[in-house]
Structures are given as C-alpha cells and as structure tokens.
Structure 1
Amino acid sequence: MHVTVHVVGEDAHEVDLPDPTYGDLVAAVDLSPHEATVLVDGRPVPEDAPVEASEVRVLRLIKGG
C-alpha cells in the first residue's frame, strides 16, 4: 500500500508497505511509537490498526533538544 506520511513540522515521506499498520508507518519514518502518534482526519488512531488512509500526519510527542 502506498501512503504519504506527513511528519508535522518536518518532511513528507512516501511509504510503500504491504498491509501496514499505523505503527509500521511510524517506524518507516524512523520514529518510535513511544514518541509519536498518527493522526487521520485530525484524530489519533491506534498503532496496531490496519492503515485505511492514503495520507496520514505523524505528530512527534517528544523531541530532543
């Protein structure tokens, strides 16, 4: 499945994975599910749910500095 992953405040990534979960998308953009959440239509989705959207936003909850 082809999904565009927009990391809020950063870049967008094109991800192609067979039957991904939202957690797989987070891992594909080199983030941990502990530091980010996936939003679909502005609402958080469970990391173990199968992806049903062609575009998602990833919001980093923790950022080093």
Structure 2
Amino acid sequence: MKGFGLVPLIIILILGAFFFYTGNYQQRQIDDLEKAQVTMQHEDERLAEEVVRLEAEVVGIQTGLEAV
C-alpha cells in the first residue's frame, strides 16, 4: 500500500512541473510579443518622421522646378 500513495504524488509532481514549464513558456512568448510591439511602434514613428521629411523635400524640389 505504500507504493500506491507514492504514484499519485509522482503524478502530481510531474503535472505540476509540466504546468509550471508551460506557464513560463507562455509568459516568455507574451514578453517577446510586447517587445516586438514596442519595436514596431518605434519603427512606425521613425517612418512617419521620414515621410514628413521626404514630403518637405518633394515640395522643395517642386518649387525649384517651378522656378526653372
């Protein structure tokens, strides 16, 4: 009868370790996605600034061509 009490304990420990690992893995994925989102937001802001700069450059070129 001693072995019968040990089997459920081992099963519980294995399941606990499995759920702990799975939870950590999912949290790492969430953290990675949050980092990627921040990176994309920064890139979006950078590209928006680049578009504004290019639009100003195009206006300058158009003005220069009109003067010719």
- Structure in which a larger fraction of residues adopt helix: 2
TM over 0.5: no
Question: When the two structures are superposed, what TM-score results if normalisation uses the length of structure 2?
Answer: 0.17
Question: When the two structures are superposed, what TM-score results if normalisation uses the length of structure 1?
Answer: 0.18
- Structure in which a larger fraction of residues adopt strand: 1
